[in-house]
Amino acid sequence: MRTKSAIQNLCLTLSLLSSVCVTSIADTKIPDVARNHWAFKAVSCTVSTGILPLKNGKFDGSAKVSRRELAIALAAFGNALEAGKWPKSSPKALSTQLAGKSSGPQEINRYQLAAVLDRVGKLFMEKRPNPGTKRFGNSTALIPPIDLKSVAASDPALPALTYLSKHHMIFGKCILATPGNQPITAEQLADAVSMVVAGAVDRLTDEPEMREPLAPRPSRK
C-alpha cells in the first residue's frame, strides 16, 4: 500500500482517477439505473472505467454536472484515450434524450455526460493511432496550455487540471480553468471534450516537418 505522500504525487493521483476496473460492464452494479434505461450501457462503461464513479453507492444521473466534476472526469477520460483503455465496440447514435426541452442553454446531467463520453470514446478507439512503444510530445502548433495559478491548491480539481494542461487537453479560454459548482452547458461540454480529443490525438501522432531540410551553407571561398 502506498503512503499518503505518494498518493499526493500528481502521476499517482491521475493513475487513480483513470484506473480501469477489471469488472466487465455486464457485471457493473448500479442500483439506481435500470438495465432498460436509455443510458444504462454508457453509464456502466463510464462507471466501470472510473470516469464517473458512483456517489454514495448511486450514480445519481439526473444531477447536474459541475465544472469541477467535468474537469476531473475529463482528465481520467483523456488518460484512458491516450492509453487505449476504452472498450472497443461500435458506437451507437446518441439518444434523443440528450436533447433539452428548454430554449435556453441546456445544462448537462450525469446521464448525458456518460452518453457523450461513451460515444466519443468508442469513436476515438475506432480511429485511434497506434504509436507502438513510441511516445510523442505536445505539438508546437497547439495553443500554449492555460495558466492555473488562480486555482487554489486545495481545489479537488487541481490535479486533473494540471494533467489536462500538461497534455494540451485544455487551452484558450476554457471555462474549466475556473473550477466550481457552476453547471456545465451542452456547448461548454462540446468545447471541453473537443480539446481533450485534440490533445490525445496530438500526443499519439508525430508532428510533420513544416519545411524542407536545409542545404549546406555555401562556401565563402
In a domain? residue 215: no
Contacts by 23-32 with C-beta closer than 8 Å and gap 24+?
A: 23/48, 24/48, 25/87, 30/54, 30/58, 30/59, 31/57, 31/58, 32/58, 32/59, 32/60, 32/61
The residue-averaged pLDDT of 35-60 equals: 93
Higher pLDDT, 93 or 63: 63
The residue-averaged pLDDT of 156-179 equals: 90
pLDDT at residue 76 tops 80? yes
Picking from 18-22, 71-75, 150-154, 157-161, which range would have the lowest pLDDT averaged per residue? 18-22
The residue-averaged pLDDT of 34-41 equals: 93
Encoded amino acid at 64, one letter: K
Higher pLDDT, 138 or 128: 128
Cα gap 91→73, rounded to integer Å: 20
Q: How many domains does the chain have?
A: 1
The DSSP bridge partners found for residue 64 are: 109
Q: What angle do CA 86, 84, 97 make, to 5 degrees?
A: 30
Rounded to two decimals, the pTM is 0.74
In a domain? residue 1: no
pLDDT at residue 122 tops 80? yes
The DSSP bridge partners found for residue 55 are: 58
Cα gap 31→22, rounded to integer Å: 19
In a domain? residue 200: yes
Higher pLDDT, 143 or 150: 150
Helices 67-83/186-204 angle, 10° precision:
30
Burial readout 139-149 (b: 16 or more C-beta within 10 A, e: otherwise)? eeebeebbebe
Predicted confidence band of residue 203 (pLDDT cuts 50, 70, 90) = confident
- What integer pLDDT is reported at residue 87 of this predicted model? 73
In a domain? residue 3: no
The mean of the pLDDT values for the chain is 77
The residue-averaged pLDDT of 143-147 equals: 72
The residue-averaged pLDDT of 74-88 equals: 87
In a domain? residue 115: yes
The percent of residues above 90 in pLDDT, for the chain, comes to 46
Cα gap 73→80, rounded to integer Å: 11
Q: What are phi and psi of 171, to 5 degrees?
A: -160, 175
pLDDT at residue 142 tops 80? no
In a domain? residue 212: no
Contact 33, 43 (CB under 8 A): yes
In a domain? residue 53: yes
Boundaries of domain holding 161: 9-96+109-204
- Per the document, the length of the chain is 221
In a domain? residue 210: no
pLDDT at residue 155 tops 50? yes
Give the position of cell 536545409.
Answer: 214
